[in-house]
Amino acid sequence: MTTASFDWNAPFASMDYAFDLLTTGPGQPVLPLQGLGGLDKDELPAEEVVTALRRSSPQVTDAVWRLVLARVRAGESAWTVVAATAMAPRMIAASRRYAQMPEHEIADIDAELLACLLEQFQHIDTASHQIGRRLWQAVANAACRHAYRRRAEVDQTARKLPGAATRGAGRGPVTVLADAVARGALTPQQADLVARTRLEGTSLKHVARDMGLSYITARRRRVTAETALARALAEAGFESG
């Protein structure tokens, strides 16, 4: 059994931990198969559900997905964990293959892909076929969008911050952030988020933990901070051409 603490700042590790808790000892969730053919069983424990969703025939996999997602949509959180665990290898593949993020930013994309998957659980059309494949496609598309958006954010931030000539005149990025705080455009925490994650290259996951924030909250606050910083720079006439 996993012994690490439950930490949603590390989405896949946390999911593994939650699944271990569900499937260790008595009381493991069991899925009634409601007469489903192809498995020669009346019910499946959670661990076998994950295997069925990953490795069964397309017809059986779709049927099991429909049963699992019906329970997810009914608010049964244990089955959300089971369904997400079944998709974990595909999410990890999408994260590493399509997002192409540096190692210290992997938690960013992992959290976004998990959020995408949970949304798909609620909205995907279960009456159609190849449910697992369509879940994978949604996750892969989210990974590509994240990579594109992340590169655009980095480029935009780099354009907004003063260049080398300005830094030589004594107005480097840290000075600009300090000025933004002094003018009330940013809070000290927002400036710290931008400085540590964008200028120093510290992962947002680590900074969030240091600040006592959830990963999602820290990410949202950083987006708000960068938007405010870009606006303040434009108003002050510091945009680099």
Residue 45 to residue 31: CA distance in whole angstroms: 6
DSSP state of 231: H
**pTM of the predicted model, to two decimals?**
0.60
**Alpha carbon of 92 to those of 59, 158, 191: distances in Å?**
25, 29, 31
pLDDT in tens, 105-130: 677 778 888 888 999 999 999 999 99
The third-level CATH classification (topology) of the domain covering 161-236 is Arc Repressor Mutant, subunit A (1.10.10)
Range 180-202 burial, b when 16+ CB lie within 10 A, else e: bbeeebbeeebbbbbbbbbeeee
Is the pLDDT confidence value at 84 over 60?
A: yes
pLDDT score at 105: 67
pLDDT band at 104 (very low <50, low <70, confident <90, very high): low
Q: Are 209 and 178 in contact (CB under 8 A)?
A: no
Q: What is the number of alpha carbons within 13 Å of residue 20 lying toward its C-beta?
A: 12
38 φ/ψ sector (left φ>0, alpha ψ -120 to 50, else beta): left
pLDDT score at 202: 81
pLDDT score at 239: 43
Is the pLDDT confidence value at 169 over 50?
A: no
pLDDT score at 31: 94
Locate CATH 1.10.10.10 in the chain: 161-236
Strands 30-32 and 43-45, bridge-based pairing: antiparallel
Q: Apex CA 97: angle with CA 95 and CA 101, to 5°?
A: 60
pLDDT in tens, 49-75: 999 999 889 999 999 999 999 999 999
